[in-house]
Amino acid sequence: MADSTAPHPTDRPVYVIGGGPGGLSAAYALRAQGIRAVVLEKTDGVGASWRGHYDRLRLHTTRRGSALPGLPMPRRFGRWASRDDVVRYLEKYAEHHELEIVTGVEVSRVDRAPDGTGWLLHATGGRELTGGAVVVATGYNHTPRVPDWPGRDSFTGDFLHAAHYRNAEPYADRDVLVVGVGNTGAEIAVDLVEGGASRVRLAVRTAPHIVRRSTAGWPAQYTGVLVRRLPVGLVDRMARPLARVSLPDLSEHGLPRPDTGLYSRVREGAVPVQDVGLIDAVRAGRVEVVAAVEGFEDGKVVLADGDRVVPDAVIAATGYVRGLEGLVGHLDVLDDRGRPVVRGAHTPGNAPGLYFTGFTNPISGMLRELAIDAEKIAKAVARRMDGKVSRVVG
């Protein structure tokens, strides 16, 4: 792996922005097509976002269904790989495939090259790098999003985004409010209960769809793969009776069954919550479901139903934004929510040679789709850029 002092080539490789699973798999797939790919990673190592996740995290997708192209995940990881195992796997992936990675280099802006035949990347230290094509793989969970709650400065307890939560140790014997019931919020709530927090409340605005991670040995991911290309309405109708059979009704505990379809919600960006203990914790009253947070007032948290609570700590599991505006926002390639208008093998009509991967959260599993996208992108680059990019020697 190269460091930030390594010389930069004067020819035109394909630059891959981001050294996470999306960037690494794209770099490998490009090399497999005989195309030189250079990964630019702003931190000092690959898999930076994974290193920052909370300690207890395990993949909700299977080991086999999460492997990147060209290297299976080791059997010793078990069915559901841990955070640390994923990091080790990404390090091994880069080493095994001898990927060309330059660390400590952050790309701040992508422009069209002056000659109109490629892309100019503005990077750390005043670098200007010209590539024949660019793959943006900066990650789905790029920038923590915290709602602009009125009066938040009045809260005197601990306040942090879930991106900065590691484990329950600092919250033993304390009253904690977790805001947001996506997979992260649900799992942190369970972690706090198991870690000895005196009280755990979970603020919910919209009741989520909840699915078992595995039912009778059949992973939810497999179902996601099978249905991902079916009509949305059909999947919604299929999911309703399955949920009634496999999951208890938590309405009396504050989590009613959603009135919108499961796949409809996925298409809007809200994947189902995979149960890793939330259902039992809610039924037992160890996690208390409360109304959504509306703001803060006189050091208290104001809830949507008018209640005011005074926890010792608030953990905002309120999601992330893609953070692409500064990088490519001027190129008219983002929608009104800051997401790329195309992904995978598709390239914007007004920005040929610019590719995006990892900016959706598919029902079939993020890592699986990154692996598929990588090979599609590499083939598309090979077709479009033949003779315009640097080829791998030897």
Model confidence band, residue 392 (pLDDT cutoffs 50, 70, 90): low
| Half-sphere exposure for 204 (CA within 13 Å, toward CB) | 26
Pick the CATH number of 14-142+322-384 from 2.60.40.1890, 3.40.50.2000, 3.10.590.10, 3.50.50.60: 3.50.50.60
Q: The tokens 């091994």 sit on which residue?
A: 92
Question: Of 37-51, 144-158, 380-394, which gets the smallest average pLDDT?
Answer: 380-394
Q: How far is the C-alpha of 295 from the C-alpha of 146, rounded, in Å?
A: 12
- The 3-state DSSP class for residue 189 equals helix
CATH architecture classification, 144-316: 3-Layer(bba) Sandwich (3.50)
| Cβ contact 333:354 at 8 Å | yes
- Look at residue 393 in the predicted model and tell me its pLDDT: 54
User: Which two structure tokens, joined as six digits, stand for 174?
Assistant: 């304390």
Which amino acid would we find at residue 383? Answer: R
| Residue pLDDT, tens place only, 321-373 | 999 999 999 999 999 989 999 999 999 999 999 999 999 888 889 999 999 99
Residue 4: pLDDT over 70:
no
Band (54; pLDDT cuts 50, 70, 90): very high
Neighbours of 194 (CB within 10 A): 14
Q: Which residue has the higher pLDDT, 355 or 8?
A: 355
Q: Of the candidates 367, 361, 320, which has an alpha carbon nearest to the alpha carbon of residue 163?
A: 320
Average pLDDT over residues 280-298: 97
* Chain region(s) in the chain for CATH 3.50.50.60: 14-142+322-384, 144-316
Distance, in Å, from the CA atom of 268 to the CA atom of 256, rounded to the nearest integer, reads 20
One-character DSSP codes across 67-119: PPTT-PPPGGG-SS-BHHHHHHHHHHHHHHTT-EEEES--EEEEEE-TTSSSE
pLDDT exceeds 80 at position 204: yes
pLDDT of res. 10: 41
Using DSSP's 3-state secondary structure scheme, residue 175 falls into strand
The Cα-based distances of 390 to 121, 351, 382 in angstroms read 16, 20, 11
Q: What is the model's pLDDT at position 7?
A: 36
pLDDT at 273: 95
pLDDT digits (tens, 9 = 90+) for 213-247: 998 889 999 999 999 899 999 999 999 998 998 89
Q: Is the model more confident about 388 or about 292?
A: 292
